[in-house]
A and B are shown apart, each in its own frame.
Chain A
Amino acid sequence: MPSGAAETIAALPFAPTAAVLEAAIALLARTDDGGAIDSTIRREAFAAFEALPVPGARPGRGWKHDYAKLSYDDLRWTNGRVTMPAAPRRPAAARPDREVDQPALATDNAGGLYHIGATFVDAPSDADPRVTVKPFDAATARAFAAELAGVHGTLVDWRADKFAALATAFQNCGAFVRIPAGVVLDAPIQLVFATAPDAEAVFPHIVVIVEAGARATILERHVGEGDPFVCGIVEAHVADDAQLDYVAIQQTGEAARAFVSRSAYCGRNATMSWHLAELGGTLARTVLNARLANPGARSETAALFFNTGMQHVDLTTGTDHVVGPTTSDTVVRSAATDRGQGRYVGNIVIRPKAHGSDASLRDDALLLSKRAHIDSVPALEIAANDVKAFHGATVGSLDEDALFYVGSRGIPRPEALRLIALGFFEPVIARFPSEALRDEIRTALDAKIDDATEFVS
């Protein structure tokens, strides 16, 4: 129990080993009543992590990154809680508004959580009283066991995904969010993960339940100059007639890695919208899934990444039309310059019972330097009749005629390149749910153009 004047965080050197897992389990037993996830499950998940194959180079043969060679050196794993006496972290200097120069929780919100590394440090005092937003710890797991059942550990199947398994074994932070039936929120709920000064292994689990007829926007941010290894799970249950806009923005340090698997379940006439911007880090592996399990369900996915320097992004979207009629619309825009590398795998499955469904998948990639590379691998699997399925993909460089046209209007070539490249992302940016977010992403992309060393075509 806390007793000192200041507090500290219990930490271990991280490695994906059984010994570290046992130490983590022991630490959680001491400090968080066993933690949010049962130790039996953690051990099973760790066994799955070890048994599952390393995600390979295929599909998309140009992708050269080797997940087998991931380094876990110099990472700290914490218990995600501020519990023990005596230490430097919590007081004013580490408060959110000083730690990062992002608007973060300071902006208009209906509630949220602020983490530094895996440590939950703050929540807004004026959160909307109708919604539940809790750190994902032992108390939350116990209090909301009924709500979590069938969602947590189910929507993202850690038995089939190596990194989801790792995230489950070592979970040390996250959020539980519930929007009660019929509640419509104007402001977003913000879940902020600011990077800690030391490199941390951060394993968030985020569970969102949007009850029937409710509407909400959730903003998951990974920000800061630090270089964590983030490996997480997001599970969203969108009940009948409900709507969820889920925005994920990753803008972490140059050596950061962010692996997050996100999956949503959609009820009857429910709409799930994923909005993703991968802007930072050195390696991002992201999965965005939607399961359209009831008639009238709809998913919209808008994702972008822009790889400069040595950045790698590996994005997979998956839309499962389980029944009909259900609709989905996926738009992905990616660009790479310098030695940036990207891979996009777009899966759409239309199952035998999904008559009358309509799926559209459009992805365009822009290569801005000779050594940049992006693979695009759309995969449509259609087992039902009378469905509409569209897919279109392009990989190209900047259009010389467009550049000349812009130049002929007095705009110098570097600015013309910038204008056209930023315009390229607009179809995805336009789908983000607020002008503030859209502007923020435009500004971030603009800054990335400044940072790119090769920006010619």
Chain B
Amino acid sequence: MSTRGLITRDLRVAVQGNEILKGIDLTIEPGRVHALMGPNGSGKSTLAFTMAGHPGYEVQSGSVTLDGEELLSLPPDKRAKAGLFLSFQYPAAIPGVSVANFLRTARMAVRPEDLNPTKFRKLVFEKLDTLDMDAAFLGRYVNDGFSGGEKKRLEMLQMALLAPKYAVLDETDSGLDVDALQAVGKSVNALRESEEGQDMGFLVITHYPRILKHVPADVVHIMIDGRIVKTGGPELADQIERDGYDGVRDEVAAARA
């Protein structure tokens, strides 16, 4: 029996007393890409924040395990150390803290064993290059005054440097121009092809199939109103793009009736 994977079971979550997630069962296997689509307000970010341990989300029941380890009782930093990474839909700014300092501190926290400064520096420059980012970013304050696209690139840079076991990408593709989207795709794929990233599992939250052209999904889930209502192959993403969510809603209503 294998417990490998980022797994939620019957996950119910409320925000300020309102139930948002109404029993989520998901299994992200190592090495696989799952896409999660759903209309605005359906609960996608709530799922991402709950997995990462945001204190504002009240877990009412269920579990989130990472390769068998229960995450729900851990603070956010321990979840990161367990191997979870969240790419934020709206990354927070940390004025006064340089990107270089932040990357070093994060890497040291997550993988204290292998921080050789010279090697780390080399690694940073390599990843910057993949993401088409200027080294000047290193001297700027984290997300402070960054454009939307710059913030998303920095999320990807952090992911590449922390090389987690599982990554949740919450609308990393939103607001990106074509070049930035390509850079993000390149970075994800480079990571997946690397030795440390080959077994990474992904949950890609998105509104558009276009990111899935760069990072092909093995499975696509549709979330509506706090529930996964449909799961299918990559063609499901194109169907949503073409027809919107009404078709899926009708199917769900028909199935219930």
Contacts of A426 in B (CB 8 A): 95-97, 141
Which residue in B54, B56, B109 is a CB contact (below 8 Å) of A410?
B109
In the complex, are the beta carbons of B109 and A427 less than 8 A apart?
A: no
B88: CB under 8 A from chain A? yes
Q: How many residues of B contact A (CB 8 A)?
A: 30
Contacts of B141 in A (CB 8 A): 423, 426
In the complex, are the beta carbons of A408 and B52 less than 8 A apart?
A: yes
A419: CB under 8 A from chain B? yes
A402: CB under 8 A from chain B? yes
A393: CB under 8 A from chain B? no
B64-97 interface code vs A (CB 8 A; 1 in, 0 out) = 0000000000011101110001101001111111
In the complex, are the beta carbons of A425 and B96 less than 8 A apart?
A: yes
- Across the A-B interface, how many residue pairs have beta carbons closer than 8 Å? 85
Chain A contact residues (Cβ within 8 angstroms of B): what range? 20 to 34
A404-426 interface code vs B (CB 8 A; 1 in, 0 out) = 11111111110110011011111
B window 111-130: CB within 8 A of A: none
| A413, B94: Cα distance in complex, Å | 14
In the complex, are the beta carbons of A407 and B76 less than 8 A apart?
A: yes
CB distance from B89 to the nearest CB of A (A): 12
Contacts of A405 in B (CB 8 A): 88, 91-92, 94
A401: CB under 8 A from chain B? yes
Contacts of B80 in A (CB 8 A): 407-410
| A200, B97: Cα distance in complex, Å | 40
In the complex, are the beta carbons of A409 and B158 less than 8 A apart?
A: yes
CB distance from A46 to the nearest CB of B (A): 45
B162: CB under 8 A from chain A? yes
In the complex, are the beta carbons of B55 and A402 less than 8 A apart?
A: no
A66: CB under 8 A from chain B? no
CB distance from A392 to the nearest CB of B (A): 14
In the complex, are the beta carbons of A404 and B92 less than 8 A apart?
A: yes
A→B interface (CB under 8 Å): 399-402, 404-413, 415-416, 419-420, 422-427
4 closest cross-chain pairs (CB), A and B:
A423-B96, A426-B96, A410-B80, A407-B76
Query: 29 A–B contact pairs at CB < 8 A?
Result: A400-B55, A400-B56, A402-B92, A402-B93, A402-B94, A404-B52, A404-B55, A407-B53, A407-B75, A407-B76, A408-B76, A408-B80, A408-B86, A409-B105, A409-B106, A409-B158, A410-B77, A410-B80, A410-B81, A411-B109, A413-B77, A420-B97, A422-B96, A424-B95, A424-B96, A425-B96, A426-B95, A426-B96, A426-B97
